[in-house]
Amino acid sequence: MFAYIIHNLSNEIFSIYGPIVLRWYGLMYLVGFGVNYYLLSRWIKTGKIKLTQEFLSDTAVTIMIFIVIGARIGYMLFYNFSGLMANPLTLFAVWEGGMSFHGGVLFGFLLSWIYFTWKKQNFWDLADVFIVAIPLALFFGRIGNFINGELWGAVTTLPWGVIFPTVPLSRWQPLSDPAVQEMVKKIALPIDGTQPYITIVTEQIKNHFRLPYEVGEILVNLPRHPSQLYEAFGEGIVLFLILYTLFRKGVKIRGVYLWTFFVGYGMIRFLVEFIRQPDIHIGYLYGNWFTMGMLLSLPMIMVGIVGLGISISRKKVNSLWG
């Protein structure tokens, strides 16, 4: 029985030309978009959605662009506001990474509402239709996060714990801590100074990373919860199955799918945040548990509950369902 997994996945697939590299994270976004497009196209062909293939082709790309723009704006506002204020042009530096799904929902939602209102189309009906397959895009996005070795969780001794080499030294644990020694012993983690998950604090390392440890201290990069995979399962598989069940049962009330997504995503994300580590430059907002992800998920849950209640009480039919 394995006691831990060492993450050794490269985030690069291959170099296209010079510095231009195809990365797994970008590919996962494209795969997610492709799966969404395929399902919607299939449902149109079978008459389950009253849209044309031409409309889908034009609209799907537009919505994807709005979501990506919103995700970038959200990340800079919610997670890197100081960097945005210092240099507003960093908003366009998407190659440096940094996307917020909450931002994608908020600003992508707003941009889509403006666009479809301008086109004199019913935004709420379209939102219901397009949201059903969105969890699958989230699934592939979280797989991309895992391959990148980012958004990892708290340390764990569970057998599927993963040692991520991307964890900064400031998050490594001192071997002098009895609790760390107990964890190392429990998972039978070899400690002889030659492993990549072991480092000895030098004066240079101490000063560069501003570590609170003495020179000579041994630091260990312990296994962590693969919170990206938890989110892939919850936000992706579970949430899709919930929406798809409504779809298969023929629920046609306007808004039910959209607001169910809001509630479902918000609740799943809020729960995973208990073990997912917060961004280093932000940390916990309150105590040693309340994170930015939780703060942004709460409004989604509340808005979703209110919206769901209104939709069910009004019982207006979405004209796009076949």
117 shares a domain with 28: yes
End-to-end CA distance of the chain: 50
* DSSP label of 278: P
Bridging pattern class, strands 218-220 and 198-200: antiparallel
Tell me what pLDDT residue 33 has: 95
Whether residue 13 is contained in a domain is answered as: no
User: Does 142 count as an annotated binding residue?
Assistant: yes
Helix residue ranges, H only, the chain: 24-45, 53-78, 81-86, 101-118, 123-131, 134-148, 178-186, 203-209, 227-231, 239-248, 256-272, 292-314
Structural domain total, the chain: 2
Tell me what pLDDT residue 126 has: 97
Whether residue 160 is contained in a domain is answered as: no
49 vs 318: CA distance, rounded Å: 10
- For the chain, residues with pLDDT lower than 50 are none
Whether residue 7 is contained in a domain is answered as: no
Last residue of a domain, one of 183, 200, 220: 220
Range of the domain at 296: 21-153+226-314
Whether residue 6 is contained in a domain is answered as: no
Task: Give 118: exposed, middle or buried? Use CB within 10 Å, 0-12, 13-18, 19+.
Answer: exposed
147 shares a domain with 189: no
Tell me what pLDDT residue 294 has: 97
Tell me what pLDDT residue 95 has: 66
260 shares a domain with 121: yes
185 shares a domain with 144: no
149 shares a domain with 194: no
Whether residue 116 is contained in a domain is answered as: yes
